[in-house]
Chains A and B, each alone.
Chain A
Amino acid sequence: MTDEKKQLEIRGFLQLDAFLKKKYGTMPVFYEIDGPITGIELAKELGIKREDIEVIFVNGFVQEVNYTLNPGDRMAFLPPGCPGPYRIALGFYGKNQDNAANFKIQRKDSK
């Protein structure tokens, strides 16, 4: 029997939606943690690549990727690709000023 208080409620958007559904067979994914964990650490545990994360959502708020998550949180990984001015309006830019990975313009031929 799982302890809901120890679980994170995890979602993945864009390509991470299919990735998590394939890996865990459901969306959202309920993932047990023992204590606080950063978004980066969680991504590593789930097998999500660093460059596939622009920001994370935590309990409905945009946060930088190394934000600390606690048991019981609802969170989501959002890859680069959110359209519209909403990346500004929802605060992506404000959370990513020191995060070079998120606004790096990837060259297609460099992949």
Chain B
Amino acid sequence: MSVNRWVLEKSNCLPLFGKGLIDGVVFSMSFIRLSFKLKEVFFVNKFIRVNMETLEVTVGTVPEKYAGLGGRALTSNFVNDEVKPTCHPLGKNNKVIIAPGLLSGTTAPNSGRLSVGAKSPLTGTIKESNTGGSSSQMLAKMGIKALVIEGMPKEDKFYIIKVTMDGVTIDEAPSQILGGCGNYEAIKVLNEKYGNHVGMALTGPAGEYRLPSANISFKDPDGNIRSAGRGGLGAVLGSKKVKGIVIDSTGASSVPIADPEKFKAASKVFAKALLDHPVAGQGLAAYGTDVLVNILNEAGGLPANNFTAGRIDHNDNISGETMNATITERGGEGKVSHGCHKGCIIRCSQWYPDKQGKYITSGFEYETIWGLGADGGIKDLDIIAYIDRAMDDVGVDSIETAVAVATAMDGGLIPWGDGEAVLKIVQEMAKPTPLARIIASGTSVVGKVCGLFRVPVVKDQGIPAYDPRSVKGIGLTYATTTMGADHTAGYCISGNILKVGADIDPLKKEGQVEYARAMQIGTAAIDSSGMCLFVYFGIADNPGGYQALIDMINAQYGLELTADDLDTLGKAVLKVEKDFNTRAGFTNHHDRLPEFMEYEPLPPHNEVWNFTPEEIDEVWNF
């Protein structure tokens, strides 16, 4: 059966495709309203709603209030506007919104990131989960600003939503990819059905079972897997019985640029700022994010053995330097450097091969390796790679799962350092067995099941890879971000951060509130642009790089935004998210780190978390 129902919104009678002249369009960013003229451009602002209860698709133009928004700014505003904050995340009132960023689909380097928003079943907060892959650029080129999935089917069937230039269809999902089929196989099956060229978002087995750590898996340009990992949004998609979204951009044109020459010039400056920087141009490309194992270990901030130590002795087994040497030595399908989307020039990903040179996994990130290797004590990088692949295959967040695993080890559910046992449990998430369900339910649930007080979560999301007792600025971000503990919530440059940064000592309080605030504001803005957060390196140390980023947005949309405007955007996004959380029942009392960090000193520096509630709350004073 194929359902293909189109309902064009009568109020939006402008052509969805075709050339037009738009004069004096109001460009609203909720925080700022700018008028501008776009001449001779394609009108490409489709806002698609898929109602899974009626199986109807509505294609309209972007509501005016969202017209100038992209990525996280769009998903968070939409969720705050349309999702009942007190709804059950797996019930019919939750909605999933998928949105490319402002620069997605253009030739801007590293602009292929995609935002997915909904209320999180893991945290109960608003959630924006961000991914690479092919889908963002495809959607943007198709003129699709957002794809919303709402409602729940009455029948117990899973569906595939197919998005093309001709419309949106809802097909029943092929039976062979249901009931435990891994994502790698599902991609093969769907490639055969729809073509290798399509983009894809998948609900893995964990999402089908609506487990709180379930991610949404996105096909990358090589047919491998990238993830909108954090917050359990795969469970939300699974609750709506969406097994997959297939995106076929055949026939799509390029993204309209108001001032192509200015855009080209700014893009060139931006690319140079990235490539010339030693982090983006050399460090990440050679060693990936796993280069941080040795660095955090040396700083005494590498959480180990379920956050009871800040340093390990087997760091050399799992470091980025060892990964680089291993990939180089094994050869075969291994690649030291690889991009997660077209146009990525940083290329921090890699293909990690087995001893015979056969591909095991890609996007083998520091946080995953830390969680299993340091926090869980698994000393073999190969077995960690197989677990990483298995997590991608069943579709669970590798950070949440790794933190949950280490907590389960502390609770006696799994032997410390037993990689084979962990691999088996992760593979069993496809069935899932009771133990697999518990681990895939996240760190907070595991802590309760095991009767532990040492449960490293904020707002029920597992704390990643940087111990707040030794890296206090990160701790403030974990405590106060709207997302639950999330290192990527405070990742990017904003305004005068370098002046703040110059005064920071990782173990002292001075400057940390300003750091955490500025980083979260900057990150919210970058998350809205469609840019990878790793562009941070090219814009933190190079003022010209930051200006080039702004110039690209201005050139694309015919605007005259300034750095202050981006800061204003970032602040507005955070406040919208905070508003949702407040209406969902969250208060500043939820903006706290787990209590054990206040009285368990972390070796080797033997520091505790010592910020007062009043000091923590100051992060939100803007």
Contacts and interface: CB of A to CB of B under 8 A. Distances in A.
A46 interface: no
Nearest to B604: A60
Contact of A94 (B280, B487, B497, B501): B501
B504 A89 contact: yes
A23 to B, nearest CB: 15
B295 A86 contact: yes
Nearest to B288: A83
A108 B276 contact: yes
B408 to A, nearest CB: 28
Nearest to B512: A89
Determine chain A's interface SS by DSSP, over half rule: loop
Given A14-B321, A83-B292, A86-B296, A105 B466 contact: no
Nearest to B275: A108
Interface stretch (B17-25, B33-41, B536-544): B536-544
B605 interface: yes
Contacts of B537: 83
Given A94-B501, A94-B505, A13 B466 contact: no
Interface in B502-551: 502-506, 515, 519, 534, 536-537, 540-542
Interface residues of B, number: 56
Contact of B286 (A14, A57, A80): A14
Contacts of A86: 292, 295-296, 466, 471, 474
Interface in B264-281: 273, 275-281
A39 to B, nearest CB: 14
A90 B299 contact: yes
Determine chain B's interface SS by DSSP, over half rule: helix
A86 B296 CA distance: 9
A28 B283 CA distance: 21
B298 A60 contact: yes
A10 B253 CA distance: 55
B501 A93 contact: yes
A48 B404 CA distance: 41
A13 B471 contact: no
A108 B289 CA distance: 22
B278 A85 contact: no
B276 A107 contact: yes
A18 B325 contact: yes
B491 A85 contact: yes
A91 interface: yes
A89 B506 contact: yes
B316 interface: yes
B100 interface: no
Contacts of A65: none
A62 interface: yes
B299 A57 contact: yes
A81 B515 contact: no
Contacts of A108: 275-276, 281
A17 B490 CA distance: 29
A88 B504 contact: yes
B291 interface: yes
Interface of A: 11, 13-15, 17-18, 27, 54, 57, 60-62, 76, 78-91, 93-94, 97, 103, 105-108
8 contacts: A13-B321, A83-B279, A83-B348, A86-B466, A89-B471, A105-B273, A105-B276, A108-B276
Given A89-B515, A91-B506, A105-B277, 19 more contacts: A13-B298, A14-B286, A17-B294, A54-B278, A60-B299, A62-B506, A79-B283, A81-B286, A83-B348, A83-B537, A84-B289, A85-B492, A85-B536, A86-B292, A86-B296, A88-B497, A88-B540, A90-B295, A93-B502
